[in-house]
Structure 1
Amino acid sequence: MDKLISVVTPVHGAALRFLPEACASLRAQRLPDGWSWEWCVQEDGSGVDAAAHLPTADLRIRVSTSRRGGPHVARTMAFARSTGVYVKNLDADDQLTPGTLARDITALEERTSVGWTTSRVVDLLADGSTVSFELGDPEPGLLPRGSAYGYWAEHRRPRIHPATLCVRRSLLALLGGWMALPASGDTGLLLGLDSLADGWFIGDVGLKYRKHDGQITTHPQHRAGPEWEARMSLIQERADALRAWTGSPSPPDHRG
């Protein structure tokens, strides 16, 4: 029987028009011998009708609906329906680049101590052009446990893009999926993973991250205000608790 990687995608109305392009990028993937993929598409609330935009005759694609809870709750519900040994995030408005899944699988298969992968990202603009992710990338290779936390503690944003995560199933189950926040739940997951296991940064571009007016990152409270403060506080509190349980060394405190 083939080994399976599960791709999970939350979808809501604002991103629905981009779903066929995400689908095309997934169906174009070429996996290592003996591997296959499943795509668990989770509608975030009723009335989305993602199936109308997908080739549902492809039995690898499975669409389901859950009560409206935001994208991170929908991702976790998609994870609950998945069966793969690895779980890969793909947002409905983004696109995988050729070879992305194969690179993720290879990195995790060859390095049993590594629990998760991320990769380079380019922003996909409305005119179809791309620009490099603004933060600058780490060197390809090992991301030692705790290194993502150190950068985030200083800058209050991750250096590596959590939209590119591919995770061992057991590790994702241990954390309960994505943090149930209105935004930044993927950052919370990243810091949780970083507290528990080494990661691996893939130097090839793995994702085209679409910029558009309907994404949650355009909300005025995404990067400032009381909601942002509460999200950041909880993300840090959970990461600190996980680090304390696992005995991770603490980086310098850059908050003062």
Structure 2
Amino acid sequence: MKKIISIVTPVHGQGARFLSEAYTSLRSQSLPDGWSWEWCVQEDGSDVQASAYLPDPANDPRIRISASRRGGPHVARTMAFARSTGVYVKNLDADDQLAAGTLARDIAVLEEHPAVGWTTSRAVDLLEDGSTVSFEGDPAPGRLPRGTAYGFWVEHRRPRIHPATLCVRRPLLALLGGWMALPASGDTGLLLGLDALADGWFVGDTGLVYRKHPGQITTHPHHRAGAEWEARMSLIQEHADALRAWSGLTTDANCPPGAAGWEEPDTKGPDRWRRGMHQRSGYEQA
């Protein structure tokens, strides 16, 4: 029986028109032997009609389309996760594309490093004229020790690594309840929750082509300022601080792993999710 990696895609508004390009990027992925993908497309509302934008999805059994009551993209992602079956869960928004080799790289990291709970990767912006823009400031490729994403976010109120590139072990994502149910930034909330509980891994190769267009949620005037933004940021920090305290990390953003005041938690206590993760994924108990 093949192992499954689940790709979850919320679809709403103008994003549906880009689904065929997302599908093309999925079909181009080469997976390791013994692996297959499933694409859980979640319509955010009853009027999306995602199948109209795909070339006869009934002919590809890997595509699974469903609809739920409108709740925003992060609720739709979580509903797609609820329908998925994969041991690893990968985000792909309807208007974005996976770069060649992305899924194989995510799988390789999580298979080779059982203590790593999640991966993220380099992203480039796709502009309306078809050109792409890359950015400096990514971390060095390799392991991201637990707790290291928090300090940058506290200082800048944005993550250093792109949360749209996340690939997560299923039990860890279930432990956090999926994406935070916010009108925006729910993926940032998930990233900081993952960061509080498990080491991550940054893949230095480009993993995501992130489309910039007028219809996306990040262009909304409330996305980066105002009362809604302040409430989102406050809850994301409270969520991260609670998880950090529960798992044995300090809430001091200036105290990275290994520094004075930081202590690795007892894996028999609050870090017990890790043992369950490996049991569920077929690994030896940590």
TM over 0.5: yes
Q: 1:161-200 to 2 correspondence within 5 Å?
A: 161-200=162-201
> For 1:52 and 1:139, how far apart are their aligned partners in 2?
41
Hey, what's the Cα distance between the residues in 2 that align with 1:251 and 1:113?
24
Check if 1:122 corresponds to 2:129. no
Alpha-carbon distance between aligned partners in 1 of 2:215 and 2:187, rounded to the nearest angstrom: 18
SS of alignment partner, residue 222 of structure 2: coil
**Which residue number corresponds to residue 30 of structure 2?**
30
**1:170/1:252 CA distance change after superposition, 3 Å:** closer
SS state at 1:177 partner:
coil
Q: Which residue in 1 is equivalent to 2:137? A: 136
Q: Which runs of 5+ in 2 are unaligned?
A: 255-286
AA at the equivalent of 2:15: A
Q: Distance in 2 between matches of 1:207 and 1:28?
A: 13
Q: How does 1:29-68 map to 2 (within 5 A)?
A: 29-54=29-54, 55-56=56-57, 57-68=59-70
Partner of 2:104: 102
Give the partner amino acid of 1:66: S
Find the counterpart in structure 2 of residue 245 from structure 1: 246
1:46 Cα shift? 1.1
Contact kept in structure 1, 2:15 and 2:216, CA below 8 Å? yes
Q: How far, CA to CA, are the matches of 1:16 and 1:136 in structure 2?
A: 31
Q: Which residue identity is paired with 1:149?
A: Y
In 2, the alpha carbon distance for the partners of 1:110 and 1:203 equals 17
Deviation at 1:250?
A: 3.1
- What TM-score, normalized by structure 1, do the two folds share? 0.97
Residues in 1 aligned to 2:23 and 2:101: alpha-carbon distance in whole angstroms: 15
2:87 alignment partner in structure 1: 85
Q: How far apart are the structure 2 equivalents of 1:19 and 1:251?
A: 42
Q: Deviations over 1:82-113 (max 9, x none)?
A: 00000000000000011000000000000000
Question: How big is the shift at 1:249?
Answer: 2.7
Q: Normalising to structure 2: TM-score of the pair?
A: 0.87
Which residue is equivalent to 2:113?
111
Query: Paired residues, what number?
Result: 253
Q: Measure the CA separation in 2 of the matches of 1:72 and 1:82.
A: 15
* Contact 2:150–2:253 (8 Å) recurs in 1: no
State the Cα distance separating 1:138 from its structure 2 match. 0.4
**Offset at 1:17?**
1.0
1:24 Cα deviation after fit: 0.3
C-alpha deviation, 1:251, in angstroms: 3.2
Q: Choose between structure 1 and 2 for higher RCO, CA contacts under 8 A separated by at least 6 residues.
A: 1
Distance 2:12 2:154 in 1: 31
Match for 2:234: what amino acid? S
2:15 aligns with 15
Task: Write the distance in 2 (CA, Å) between the matches of 1:239 and 1:24.
Answer: 36
Alpha-carbon distance between aligned partners in 2 of 1:120 and 1:10, rounded to the nearest angstrom: 21
Question: How far has the Cα of 1:13 moved from its partner?
Answer: 2.2
Q: Percent identity?
A: 79
CA RMSD in angstroms, aligned pairs only: 1.1
